[in-house]
Amino acid sequence: MKILVCPLNGPRPVSEFAYGGEVRQSPDPDTCSDAEWSSYVFNRSGSPGVKYEWWCHIASGFWFIALRDTARDVVIATYPAEAARRPLEPHRGAP
């Protein structure tokens, strides 16, 4: 059983969590072009890498951010959702 460390609930089995996709910055819908908007809506960074992702602890409804290597399925760190309010540091290399 894979364990994820929730910033609120501590280490819990991964089956208690829902994956919410990569943390992404939305372009300003009032000023961006149609192409920029459709790219934001649909396109994803599909290649493997170390990514900031949204996760939710379902039982407590708590959303947070995990830094995860999607090639090896290793969670490097987790942060409370407030971390998304400021720009996230690009992660360099393996932990």
Partner 1 sequence: MPYRLLRFGLSRKHPEPRMFTRHDSLKSGYDVVIIGGGGHGLAAAYYLARDHGIRNVAVLERGYIGGGNTGRNTTIIRSNYLTPEGVQFYDESVRLWQDLGEDFDLNLFYSKRGHYTLAHTDSAMRTMRWRAEVNKHYGVNSEAVDAAFVKRGIPMIDMSCAGHAPILGALFHEPGAIARHDAVAWGYGRGADRRGVEIHQQTEVTGIRLEGGRVVGVDTTRGAIATSRVLCAVAGFTPRVLDMVGLKTPNYVHPLQAMVSEPVKPWLDPIIVSGSLHVYVSQTARGELVMGASLDPYELHHTRSTLDFVESLCAHMLDMFPFLSEVNVNRQWAGLADMTPDFAPIMGVTPVEGFFLDAGWGTWGFKATPVCGKTMSYTVATGRNHQLIEGFAIDRFARYQLTGEKGAASVGH
Task: Report d(CA 75, CA 55) in Å as an integer.
Answer: 11
Calpha distance 29→48 (Å, rounded): 28
Q: Which of residues 48-67 bind partner 1 (CB under 8 A)?
A: 48, 51, 53
Residue of the chain from 11, 28, 43, 87 that contacts partner 1 (CB under 8 A): 43
Q: Nearer to partner 1 by C-beta: 34 or 89?
A: 34
Rounded to whole angstroms, the Cα distance separating 73 from 71 reads 6
Binding residues (CB under 8 A) for partner 1: these are 1-2, 15, 18-19, 34-35, 38-39, 41-48, 51, 53, 70-73
